[in-house]
Chain A
Amino acid sequence: MNNPQQLRYSKEHEWLSAAEEGVSTIGITEHAANALGDVVFVQLPEVGATVTAGETCGELESTKSVSDLYSPVDGEVTEINEDVVTDPSLVNTAPFEGGWLFKVKVSGEPDDLLSADEYTAFTG
Protein backbone atom coordinates (compact mmCIF):
# COMPACT_ATOMS: atom_id res chain seq x y z
CA MET A 1 0.00 0.00 0.00
CA ASN A 2 1.46 3.32 -1.06
CA ASN A 3 0.95 6.14 1.44
CA PRO A 4 2.15 9.46 0.03
CA GLN A 5 5.03 10.93 2.04
CA GLN A 6 3.75 14.51 1.98
CA LEU A 7 0.54 13.60 3.82
CA ARG A 8 -0.19 12.94 7.48
CA TYR A 9 -2.54 10.26 8.74
CA SER A 10 -4.96 9.53 11.58
CA LYS A 11 -5.48 6.17 13.24
CA GLU A 12 -9.05 6.33 11.91
CA HIS A 13 -7.50 6.08 8.41
CA GLU A 14 -7.98 9.62 7.16
CA TRP A 15 -5.23 11.49 5.39
CA LEU A 16 -4.55 15.20 5.73
CA SER A 17 -2.61 17.39 3.32
CA ALA A 18 -0.18 20.07 4.43
CA ALA A 19 -2.13 23.28 4.96
CA GLU A 20 -2.14 25.89 2.22
CA GLU A 21 -3.15 29.24 3.66
CA GLY A 22 -4.45 27.33 6.67
CA VAL A 23 -6.65 24.96 4.62
CA SER A 24 -5.99 21.19 4.49
CA THR A 25 -7.58 18.59 2.23
CA ILE A 26 -8.92 15.43 3.86
CA GLY A 27 -9.70 11.99 2.50
CA ILE A 28 -9.58 8.35 3.52
CA THR A 29 -6.60 6.15 2.83
CA GLU A 30 -6.25 3.43 0.26
CA HIS A 31 -6.04 0.98 3.16
CA ALA A 32 -9.45 2.14 4.42
CA ALA A 33 -10.97 2.19 0.93
CA ASN A 34 -9.84 -1.39 0.32
CA ALA A 35 -11.25 -2.51 3.65
CA LEU A 36 -14.61 -0.91 2.88
CA GLY A 37 -14.98 -2.42 -0.57
CA ASP A 38 -16.87 -0.57 -3.30
CA VAL A 39 -18.01 2.76 -1.82
CA VAL A 40 -21.49 3.57 -3.11
CA PHE A 41 -22.59 6.58 -1.04
CA VAL A 42 -20.82 9.36 0.81
CA GLN A 43 -22.39 11.88 3.13
CA LEU A 44 -20.03 14.79 3.71
CA PRO A 45 -20.22 17.66 6.22
CA GLU A 46 -21.72 20.90 4.95
CA VAL A 47 -19.58 23.82 3.93
CA GLY A 48 -19.34 26.11 6.94
CA ALA A 49 -19.81 23.29 9.44
CA THR A 50 -17.46 23.02 12.38
CA VAL A 51 -15.68 19.68 12.68
CA THR A 52 -13.79 18.30 15.65
CA ALA A 53 -10.85 15.92 15.55
CA GLY A 54 -11.94 12.34 16.18
CA GLU A 55 -15.66 13.11 15.91
CA THR A 56 -18.12 11.91 13.28
CA CYS A 57 -18.79 14.34 10.45
CA GLY A 58 -20.26 12.09 7.76
CA GLU A 59 -20.81 8.56 6.46
CA LEU A 60 -19.29 6.24 3.93
CA GLU A 61 -21.44 3.38 2.65
CA SER A 62 -20.14 0.38 0.80
CA THR A 63 -22.00 -2.64 -0.49
CA LYS A 64 -21.53 -4.46 2.77
CA SER A 65 -21.25 -1.83 5.48
CA VAL A 66 -21.67 1.73 6.60
CA SER A 67 -18.82 3.54 8.34
CA ASP A 68 -18.62 6.85 10.13
CA LEU A 69 -16.40 9.49 8.62
CA TYR A 70 -14.24 11.29 11.17
CA SER A 71 -12.35 14.53 10.89
CA PRO A 72 -8.66 14.23 11.73
CA VAL A 73 -8.51 17.89 12.83
CA ASP A 74 -10.58 20.72 14.32
CA GLY A 75 -11.76 23.45 12.01
CA GLU A 76 -14.35 24.80 9.63
CA VAL A 77 -15.31 23.03 6.40
CA THR A 78 -14.51 25.29 3.44
CA GLU A 79 -15.28 22.98 0.51
CA ILE A 80 -16.58 19.49 -0.20
CA ASN A 81 -15.78 17.29 -3.19
CA GLU A 82 -18.98 17.29 -5.26
CA ASP A 83 -17.39 14.85 -7.72
CA VAL A 84 -17.15 12.17 -5.05
CA VAL A 85 -20.77 12.77 -4.02
CA THR A 86 -21.78 12.13 -7.63
CA ASP A 87 -19.34 9.25 -8.13
CA PRO A 88 -18.43 7.63 -4.81
CA SER A 89 -16.26 5.02 -6.57
CA LEU A 90 -13.56 7.73 -6.76
CA VAL A 91 -12.84 6.85 -3.13
CA ASN A 92 -11.76 3.40 -4.32
CA THR A 93 -10.07 4.32 -7.57
CA ALA A 94 -8.20 7.45 -6.45
CA PRO A 95 -8.33 7.75 -2.65
CA PHE A 96 -5.41 10.22 -2.46
CA GLU A 97 -6.39 12.28 -5.49
CA GLY A 98 -9.81 12.64 -7.13
CA GLY A 99 -11.41 10.81 -4.19
CA TRP A 100 -10.60 13.54 -1.63
CA LEU A 101 -13.59 14.32 0.60
CA PHE A 102 -13.51 17.80 2.13
CA LYS A 103 -11.29 20.77 2.98
CA VAL A 104 -10.95 22.30 6.41
CA LYS A 105 -9.62 25.61 7.67
CA VAL A 106 -7.64 24.05 10.50
CA SER A 107 -8.00 25.57 13.97
CA GLY A 108 -6.45 22.75 15.92
CA GLU A 109 -5.02 19.30 15.49
CA PRO A 110 -4.41 16.37 17.83
CA ASP A 111 -0.83 15.44 18.66
CA ASP A 112 -1.14 11.84 17.48
CA LEU A 113 -1.26 12.32 13.71
CA LEU A 114 1.08 9.90 11.94
CA SER A 115 3.71 10.34 9.27
CA ALA A 116 3.47 8.19 6.14
CA ASP A 117 6.02 5.74 7.52
CA GLU A 118 4.31 5.59 10.89
CA TYR A 119 0.94 4.99 9.22
CA THR A 120 2.38 2.28 7.00
CA ALA A 121 3.73 0.57 10.12
CA PHE A 122 0.39 1.09 11.90
CA THR A 123 -1.56 -0.64 9.13
CA GLY A 124 1.15 -3.22 8.41
Chain B
Amino acid sequence: MTQAPRRTALDATHRALGATMTDFAGWDMPLRYGSERDEHVAVRTRAGLFDLSHMGEITVTGPRAADLLDFALVGNIGGVAVGRARYTMICDAEGGILDDLIVYRLAETAYMVVANAANAQVVLDALTERADGFDAEVRDDRDAYALLAVQGPESPGILKSVTDADLDSLKYYAGLPGTVAGVDALIARTGYTGEDGFELFVRPADAPALWEALTAAGKDAGLVPCGLSCRDTLRLEAGMPLYGHELTTDTTPFDAGLGRVVKFEKTTNGGDFVGRAALEAARDRAAANPPRKLVGLIAEGRRIPRAGYPVVGPDGAVIGEVTSGAPSPTLGKPVAMAYVDAAHAAPGTAGVAVDIRGTHEPYEVVALPFYKRQK
Protein backbone atom coordinates (compact mmCIF):
# COMPACT_ATOMS: atom_id res chain seq x y z
CA MET B 1 0.00 0.00 0.00
CA THR B 2 1.40 3.38 -0.92
CA GLN B 3 0.59 6.33 1.25
CA ALA B 4 0.43 9.88 0.06
CA PRO B 5 3.38 11.81 1.46
CA ARG B 6 2.67 14.02 4.44
CA ARG B 7 2.77 17.74 4.02
CA THR B 8 4.06 20.24 6.54
CA ALA B 9 2.16 23.30 7.72
CA LEU B 10 4.35 25.29 5.32
CA ASP B 11 3.45 23.30 2.21
CA ALA B 12 1.55 26.15 0.53
CA THR B 13 4.43 28.51 1.34
CA HIS B 14 6.94 26.22 -0.37
CA ARG B 15 4.77 25.86 -3.46
CA ALA B 16 4.23 29.60 -3.68
CA LEU B 17 8.03 29.99 -3.60
CA GLY B 18 8.37 27.54 -6.48
CA ALA B 19 10.26 24.93 -4.47
CA THR B 20 11.35 21.67 -6.04
CA MET B 21 9.76 19.15 -3.70
CA THR B 22 11.00 15.66 -2.86
CA ASP B 23 9.77 12.70 -0.89
CA PHE B 24 11.82 12.42 2.27
CA ALA B 25 10.96 9.77 4.86
CA GLY B 26 7.33 9.89 3.84
CA TRP B 27 7.15 13.68 3.82
CA ASP B 28 6.86 15.98 0.83
CA MET B 29 9.71 18.36 1.59
CA PRO B 30 11.43 21.23 -0.24
CA LEU B 31 14.64 20.00 -1.87
CA ARG B 32 15.65 23.44 -3.14
CA TYR B 33 14.02 26.71 -4.11
CA GLY B 34 16.52 27.75 -6.75
CA SER B 35 20.18 26.79 -6.84
CA GLU B 36 21.17 24.52 -3.93
CA ARG B 37 24.69 25.90 -4.25
CA ASP B 38 23.48 29.47 -3.73
CA GLU B 39 21.44 28.31 -0.71
CA HIS B 40 24.52 26.63 0.74
CA VAL B 41 26.64 29.76 0.30
CA ALA B 42 23.88 31.90 1.85
CA VAL B 43 23.98 29.82 5.04
CA ARG B 44 27.79 29.98 5.22
CA THR B 45 27.96 33.72 4.63
CA ARG B 46 24.58 35.21 5.58
CA ALA B 47 21.52 33.20 6.63
CA GLY B 48 19.10 30.54 5.48
CA LEU B 49 15.57 29.61 6.55
CA PHE B 50 14.60 25.93 6.69
CA ASP B 51 11.37 24.02 7.24
CA LEU B 52 12.28 20.97 9.33
CA SER B 53 8.77 20.06 10.39
CA HIS B 54 9.36 16.44 9.39
CA MET B 55 11.53 15.91 12.46
CA GLY B 56 9.85 13.81 15.16
CA GLU B 57 9.20 15.30 18.60
CA ILE B 58 8.53 13.03 21.56
CA THR B 59 7.81 14.49 25.01
CA VAL B 60 8.88 12.55 28.10
CA THR B 61 7.49 13.75 31.42
CA GLY B 62 7.08 12.52 34.96
CA PRO B 63 8.99 12.05 38.19
CA ARG B 64 11.30 9.45 36.63
CA ALA B 65 11.59 10.95 33.15
CA ALA B 66 15.34 11.43 33.61
CA ASP B 67 15.81 7.87 34.84
CA LEU B 68 13.86 6.52 31.89
CA LEU B 69 15.99 8.46 29.40
CA ASP B 70 19.20 7.44 31.17
CA PHE B 71 18.10 3.82 30.75
CA ALA B 72 16.79 4.17 27.20
CA LEU B 73 19.56 6.34 25.69
CA VAL B 74 23.36 6.11 25.80
CA GLY B 75 23.87 9.63 27.18
CA ASN B 76 23.84 11.00 30.70
CA ILE B 77 20.48 12.70 30.36
CA GLY B 78 19.82 13.22 34.06
CA GLY B 79 22.92 15.43 34.05
CA VAL B 80 21.54 17.84 31.47
CA ALA B 81 20.59 21.15 33.08
CA VAL B 82 17.11 22.58 32.60
CA GLY B 83 17.22 24.73 29.48
CA ARG B 84 20.09 22.82 27.92
CA ALA B 85 20.20 20.23 25.15
CA ARG B 86 22.33 17.17 24.49
CA TYR B 87 23.27 15.26 21.34
CA THR B 88 22.81 11.56 22.05
CA MET B 89 21.83 8.23 20.55
CA ILE B 90 19.38 5.43 21.14
CA CYS B 91 20.87 1.97 20.61
CA ASP B 92 19.48 -1.54 20.50
CA ALA B 93 20.63 -4.30 22.87
CA GLU B 94 23.46 -5.17 20.45
CA GLY B 95 24.76 -1.61 20.53
CA GLY B 96 23.49 -0.81 17.03
CA ILE B 97 22.33 2.76 16.53
CA LEU B 98 18.54 3.11 16.20
CA ASP B 99 18.79 6.87 15.81
CA ASP B 100 20.75 9.91 16.79
CA LEU B 101 18.78 12.43 18.82
CA ILE B 102 18.78 15.83 20.41
CA VAL B 103 17.21 15.86 23.87
CA TYR B 104 16.10 19.19 25.35
CA ARG B 105 15.46 19.40 29.08
CA LEU B 106 12.47 21.72 29.20
CA ALA B 107 11.84 21.46 32.97
CA GLU B 108 13.01 19.38 35.91
CA THR B 109 10.76 16.51 34.89
CA ALA B 110 10.05 17.29 31.23
CA TYR B 111 12.16 16.52 28.17
CA MET B 112 11.66 16.81 24.45
CA VAL B 113 13.36 14.16 22.33
CA VAL B 114 13.85 15.08 18.68
CA ALA B 115 14.25 12.12 16.36
CA ASN B 116 14.94 11.90 12.65
CA ALA B 117 11.78 11.73 10.55
CA ALA B 118 12.55 8.27 9.22
CA ASN B 119 13.12 6.90 12.71
CA ALA B 120 10.52 8.77 14.75
CA GLN B 121 8.21 5.77 15.03
CA VAL B 122 11.09 3.44 15.95
CA VAL B 123 12.23 5.85 18.65
CA LEU B 124 8.69 6.35 19.94
CA ASP B 125 8.12 2.60 20.11
CA ALA B 126 11.45 1.96 21.83
CA LEU B 127 10.93 4.72 24.40
CA THR B 128 7.39 3.50 25.09
CA GLU B 129 8.61 -0.06 25.57
CA ARG B 130 11.57 0.98 27.70
CA ALA B 131 9.30 3.14 29.89
CA ASP B 132 7.81 -0.01 31.40
CA GLY B 133 8.38 0.17 35.16
CA PHE B 134 9.30 3.87 35.15
CA ASP B 135 6.95 6.53 36.52
CA ALA B 136 7.16 8.54 33.31
CA GLU B 137 4.96 9.28 30.32
CA VAL B 138 6.11 9.07 26.69
CA ARG B 139 3.95 11.25 24.44
CA ASP B 140 3.92 11.35 20.65
CA ASP B 141 4.14 15.08 19.85
CA ARG B 142 5.00 14.75 16.17
CA ASP B 143 1.83 16.59 15.19
CA ALA B 144 2.16 19.20 17.93
CA TYR B 145 5.14 21.00 16.42
CA ALA B 146 6.33 22.62 13.26
CA LEU B 147 10.07 23.32 13.20
CA LEU B 148 11.73 26.25 11.48
CA ALA B 149 15.48 26.82 11.50
CA VAL B 150 17.38 30.04 10.90
CA GLN B 151 21.03 29.21 10.29
CA GLY B 152 24.07 31.28 9.40
CA PRO B 153 26.20 34.11 10.76
CA GLU B 154 23.41 36.68 10.37
CA SER B 155 20.87 34.53 12.20
CA PRO B 156 21.33 36.09 15.69
CA GLY B 157 20.71 39.57 14.35
CA ILE B 158 17.70 38.47 12.34
CA LEU B 159 16.12 36.67 15.27
CA LYS B 160 16.85 39.51 17.70
CA SER B 161 14.81 41.86 15.52
CA VAL B 162 11.67 39.77 16.08
CA THR B 163 12.02 38.55 19.68
CA ASP B 164 12.54 39.92 23.16
CA ALA B 165 14.10 36.64 24.27
CA ASP B 166 17.61 36.98 25.67
CA LEU B 167 19.51 35.38 22.82
CA ASP B 168 22.90 36.60 24.05
CA SER B 169 22.68 34.35 27.07
CA LEU B 170 21.31 31.44 25.03
CA LYS B 171 24.29 29.17 24.61
CA TYR B 172 24.97 26.61 21.88
CA TYR B 173 22.90 23.51 22.64
CA ALA B 174 20.43 25.36 24.86
CA GLY B 175 16.75 26.15 24.49
CA LEU B 176 14.30 28.51 26.12
CA PRO B 177 10.62 29.28 25.69
CA GLY B 178 9.89 32.68 24.22
CA THR B 179 7.89 34.68 21.74
CA VAL B 180 9.15 35.15 18.18
CA ALA B 181 7.19 37.53 15.94
CA GLY B 182 4.24 37.18 18.28
CA VAL B 183 4.30 33.39 18.16
CA ASP B 184 5.00 31.09 21.11
CA ALA B 185 8.16 29.13 20.44
CA LEU B 186 10.78 26.96 21.99
CA ILE B 187 13.91 28.79 20.84
CA ALA B 188 16.90 26.46 20.60
CA ARG B 189 20.44 27.34 19.62
CA THR B 190 21.00 24.17 17.62
CA GLY B 191 21.31 23.20 14.00
CA TYR B 192 22.84 20.87 11.48
CA THR B 193 24.80 23.22 9.26
CA GLY B 194 28.05 23.95 11.09
CA GLU B 195 26.94 27.57 11.55
CA ASP B 196 25.50 29.52 14.44
CA GLY B 197 21.75 29.33 14.28
CA PHE B 198 18.42 28.69 15.88
CA GLU B 199 15.70 26.09 15.69
CA LEU B 200 12.18 27.27 16.51
CA PHE B 201 9.59 24.72 17.62
CA VAL B 202 6.13 26.22 17.18
CA ARG B 203 2.51 25.18 16.78
CA PRO B 204 1.91 24.15 13.14
CA ALA B 205 -0.84 26.76 12.82
CA ASP B 206 1.70 29.46 13.67
CA ALA B 207 4.34 28.30 11.21
CA PRO B 208 3.28 30.20 8.06
CA ALA B 209 3.10 33.55 9.87
CA LEU B 210 6.47 32.91 11.53
CA TRP B 211 8.02 31.98 8.17
CA GLU B 212 6.76 35.25 6.67
CA ALA B 213 7.98 37.29 9.63
CA LEU B 214 11.45 35.72 9.51
CA THR B 215 11.61 36.20 5.74
CA ALA B 216 10.81 39.88 6.16
CA ALA B 217 13.21 40.29 9.11
CA GLY B 218 16.03 38.64 7.18
CA LYS B 219 15.53 40.38 3.86
CA ASP B 220 18.21 43.01 4.32
CA ALA B 221 20.64 40.50 5.80
CA GLY B 222 20.35 38.27 2.74
CA LEU B 223 18.35 35.43 4.28
CA VAL B 224 17.01 32.98 1.70
CA PRO B 225 14.74 29.92 1.96
CA CYS B 226 16.79 26.73 1.94
CA GLY B 227 15.92 23.14 1.12
CA LEU B 228 17.13 19.73 2.18
CA SER B 229 19.71 19.54 -0.59
CA CYS B 230 21.90 22.29 0.82
CA ARG B 231 21.24 21.06 4.35
CA ASP B 232 22.95 17.83 3.30
CA THR B 233 26.04 19.53 1.84
CA LEU B 234 26.24 21.87 4.86
CA ARG B 235 26.19 19.01 7.36
CA LEU B 236 28.64 17.00 5.23
CA GLU B 237 31.17 19.85 5.23
CA ALA B 238 30.69 20.12 8.99
CA GLY B 239 31.44 16.39 9.35
CA MET B 240 28.07 15.67 10.93
CA PRO B 241 26.75 12.13 10.52
CA LEU B 242 23.43 11.37 8.85
CA TYR B 243 21.29 8.47 9.92
CA GLY B 244 21.08 5.84 7.19
CA HIS B 245 24.48 6.90 5.87
CA GLU B 246 27.16 7.15 8.57
CA LEU B 247 24.87 5.75 11.28
CA THR B 248 22.89 2.49 11.00
CA THR B 249 21.74 -0.37 13.20
CA ASP B 250 24.88 -2.22 12.01
CA THR B 251 27.05 0.56 13.46
CA THR B 252 27.79 1.27 17.11
CA PRO B 253 28.68 4.79 18.26
CA PHE B 254 32.29 3.59 18.63
CA ASP B 255 32.41 2.38 15.04
CA ALA B 256 31.20 5.80 13.96
CA GLY B 257 33.93 7.58 15.93
CA LEU B 258 31.29 8.96 18.28
CA GLY B 259 32.02 6.79 21.31
CA ARG B 260 32.17 9.95 23.42
CA VAL B 261 28.35 10.14 23.40
CA VAL B 262 28.20 6.84 25.33
CA LYS B 263 28.34 7.53 29.07
CA PHE B 264 29.21 4.37 30.98
CA GLU B 265 29.61 6.29 34.25
CA LYS B 266 25.87 6.78 34.74
CA THR B 267 24.70 6.21 38.30
CA THR B 268 20.96 5.96 37.68
CA ASN B 269 19.34 2.53 37.30
CA GLY B 270 22.41 0.91 38.87
CA GLY B 271 24.39 2.09 35.87
CA ASP B 272 22.35 -0.06 33.52
CA PHE B 273 21.14 1.11 30.12
CA VAL B 274 20.02 -0.60 26.94
CA GLY B 275 23.04 -1.82 24.97
CA ARG B 276 25.55 -1.37 27.81
CA ALA B 277 27.29 -4.76 27.57
CA ALA B 278 27.49 -4.69 23.79
CA LEU B 279 28.78 -1.12 23.82
CA GLU B 280 31.50 -1.97 26.34
CA ALA B 281 32.66 -4.69 23.97
CA ALA B 282 32.46 -2.27 21.03
CA ARG B 283 34.56 0.25 22.98
CA ASP B 284 37.26 -2.33 23.71
CA ARG B 285 37.26 -3.55 20.12
CA ALA B 286 37.57 -0.01 18.78
CA ALA B 287 40.50 0.70 21.12
CA ALA B 288 42.45 -2.53 20.60
CA ASN B 289 41.64 -3.67 17.10
CA PRO B 290 39.72 -0.92 15.37
CA PRO B 291 37.50 -1.93 12.49
CA ARG B 292 36.98 0.60 9.76
CA LYS B 293 37.17 4.24 10.73
CA LEU B 294 35.08 7.15 9.54
CA VAL B 295 37.28 9.57 7.60
CA GLY B 296 36.99 12.51 5.27
CA LEU B 297 38.01 12.28 1.62
CA ILE B 298 38.77 15.23 -0.64
CA ALA B 299 38.83 14.72 -4.41
CA GLU B 300 41.64 15.76 -6.68
CA GLY B 301 39.28 15.56 -9.65
CA ARG B 302 35.71 16.69 -10.12
CA ARG B 303 33.64 13.52 -10.20
CA ILE B 304 31.32 13.07 -7.26
CA PRO B 305 31.60 10.13 -4.88
CA ARG B 306 28.18 8.76 -3.96
CA ALA B 307 27.04 6.73 -0.96
CA GLY B 308 27.90 3.07 -1.50
CA TYR B 309 30.82 3.60 -3.87
CA PRO B 310 33.89 1.48 -2.96
CA VAL B 311 37.03 3.10 -1.58
CA VAL B 312 40.14 1.38 -2.94
CA GLY B 313 43.79 1.27 -1.87
CA PRO B 314 47.01 1.57 -3.89
CA ASP B 315 46.69 -1.99 -5.25
CA GLY B 316 43.06 -1.48 -6.23
CA ALA B 317 41.68 -3.64 -3.43
CA VAL B 318 38.52 -2.41 -1.70
CA ILE B 319 39.41 -0.82 1.66
CA GLY B 320 36.15 0.90 2.48
CA GLU B 321 32.92 2.48 1.36
CA VAL B 322 31.63 5.99 0.84
CA THR B 323 28.72 6.86 3.13
CA SER B 324 28.03 10.42 1.91
CA GLY B 325 29.49 12.42 -0.94
CA ALA B 326 28.84 15.73 -2.64
CA PRO B 327 30.54 18.67 -4.27
CA SER B 328 31.62 20.99 -1.44
CA PRO B 329 30.76 24.56 -2.33
CA THR B 330 33.12 25.85 0.37
CA LEU B 331 36.14 23.77 -0.69
CA GLY B 332 35.29 23.87 -4.39
CA LYS B 333 35.95 20.14 -4.68
CA PRO B 334 33.98 16.95 -4.19
CA VAL B 335 34.19 15.58 -0.65
CA ALA B 336 33.01 12.41 1.02
CA MET B 337 32.68 10.69 4.34
CA ALA B 338 33.69 7.05 4.20
CA TYR B 339 34.39 4.08 6.40
CA VAL B 340 37.96 2.98 5.63
CA ASP B 341 40.07 0.13 7.02
CA ALA B 342 42.07 1.46 9.96
CA ALA B 343 45.38 0.82 8.14
CA HIS B 344 44.40 3.42 5.51
CA ALA B 345 42.52 5.84 7.75
CA ALA B 346 45.33 8.18 8.82
CA PRO B 347 45.17 11.67 7.29
CA GLY B 348 47.55 11.87 4.37
CA THR B 349 47.53 8.14 3.63
CA ALA B 350 48.78 7.77 0.07
CA GLY B 351 47.14 5.95 -2.79
CA VAL B 352 43.52 6.09 -1.71
CA ALA B 353 40.92 6.34 -4.46
CA VAL B 354 37.16 6.10 -4.90
CA ASP B 355 35.83 3.74 -7.55
CA ILE B 356 33.46 6.03 -9.44
CA ARG B 357 31.59 3.75 -11.80
CA GLY B 358 34.72 1.85 -12.74
CA THR B 359 37.28 4.65 -12.68
CA HIS B 360 39.60 5.00 -9.68
CA GLU B 361 39.61 8.70 -8.85
CA PRO B 362 42.34 9.79 -6.43
CA TYR B 363 41.25 11.13 -3.05
CA GLU B 364 43.10 12.61 -0.10
CA VAL B 365 42.33 11.19 3.35
CA VAL B 366 41.67 14.00 5.85
CA ALA B 367 40.39 14.39 9.38
CA LEU B 368 36.78 15.51 9.76
CA PRO B 369 35.26 18.06 9.62
CA PHE B 370 36.00 19.62 6.24
CA TYR B 371 34.74 22.97 7.48
CA LYS B 372 34.78 24.62 10.87
CA ARG B 373 33.35 28.07 11.36
CA GLN B 374 35.48 30.85 12.81
CA LYS B 375 34.14 31.88 16.21
Contacts and interface: CB of A to CB of B under 8 A. Distances in A.
Interface of A: 34, 37-38, 40-41, 43, 59, 61, 63-64, 66, 89, 92
A63 B37 contact: yes
Contacts of A92: 35
A37 B306 contact: no
B306 A38 contact: no
B229 A63 contact: yes
A95 to B, nearest CB: 14
Nearest to A88: B302
Nearest to A43: B303
Interface residues of B, number: 16
Contact of B35 (A38, A43, A59, A61): A38
B229 A64 contact: yes
With a 10 A CB-CB cut-off, give which of A34, A63, A89 has the most chain B CB atoms: A63
A43 B229 CA distance: 23
6 contacts: A40-B304, A40-B327, A41-B304, A63-B37, A63-B327, A64-B36
- Which 10 pairs across A and B sit closest by C-beta, in order of nearness? A40-B327, A38-B37, A41-B302, A61-B304, A63-B36, A38-B35, A41-B303, A38-B36, A63-B326, A37-B36
A43 B97 CA distance: 39
B228 to A, nearest CB: 10
Contacts of A40: 302, 304, 327, 334
A37 B32 contact: yes
Interface in B295-329: 302-304, 306, 326-327
B193 interface: no
B233 interface: yes
A40 B328 CA distance: 10
B332 to A, nearest CB: 10
Given A38-B36, A40-B327, A92-B35, A63 B233 contact: yes
Nearest to A64: B229
A36 B315 CA distance: 35
Contacts of B31: 37, 64
